[in-house]
């Protein structure tokens, strides 16, 4: 009988590096095709960490969030995961130092 492969625990998120310029993301956020209610949380993650790189809340169906650099190892070129109210939106983006990206995120 096959055995389940253990899932490694998520690493703690290192301290934020305030000397690095974050990547800012802005755009619309929808839930089931409608603008998300004010206060909907949008978070940005790297898959190996137990906490988000940044978080923001929606207003008028739009969001903005800073994805900060954490720790000494650069996030340059890494794939970010976007969550809406804690659920994976399926949207991803590449982290760039000082980047600014317009990205629509949604939950269906």
pLDDT of residue 42: 98
Q: Specify whether the CB–CB gap between 101 and 93 falls below 8 A.
A: yes
pLDDT band at 6 (very low <50, low <70, confident <90, very high): low
Query: Tokens 């000082």 sit at which residue?
Result: 98
pLDDT of residue 70: 95
Beta bridge partners of 101: 25
pLDDT of residue 10: 87
Question: HEC profile for the chain?
Answer: CCCCCCCCCCECCCCECCCCCCEEEEEEEEECCEECCCCCEEEEECCCECCCCEEEECECCEEEEEECCECCCCCCCCEEEEEECCEEEEEEEECCCCCEEECCEEEC
pLDDT of residue 3: 66
**Residue range 21-49: mean pLDDT, rounded:** 97
pLDDT of residue 9: 81
Nearest CA-CA partner of 67 in 32, 99, 34? 99
Domains, the chain, with CATH or none: 23-107 (2.60.40.10)
pTM confidence score: 0.89
Measuring CA to CA, how many Å separate 67 from each of 4, 7, 37?
34, 26, 22
Tens of pLDDT, residue by residue over 56-75, are: 999 999 999 999 999 999 99
The fraction of the chain above a pLDDT of 90, given in percent, is 89
**Residue range 25-46: mean pLDDT, rounded:** 98
């Amino acid at each position: 009988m096959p055995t389940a492969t253990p899932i490694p625990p998520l690493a703690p998120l290192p301290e934020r590096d305030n000397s690095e310029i974050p990547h800012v993301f802005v755009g619309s956020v929808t839930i089931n095709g409608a603008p998300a209610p004010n206060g909907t949380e949008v978070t940005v993650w790297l898959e190996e960490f137990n906490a988000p790189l940044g978080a923001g809340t929606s207003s008028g169906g739009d969001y903005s969030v800073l994805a900060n650099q954490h720790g000494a190892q650069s996030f340059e070129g890494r794939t970010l995961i976007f969550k809406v109210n804690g659920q994976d939106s399926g949207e991803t983006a590449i982290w760039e130092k000082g980047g600014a990206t317009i990205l629509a995120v949604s939950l269906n």
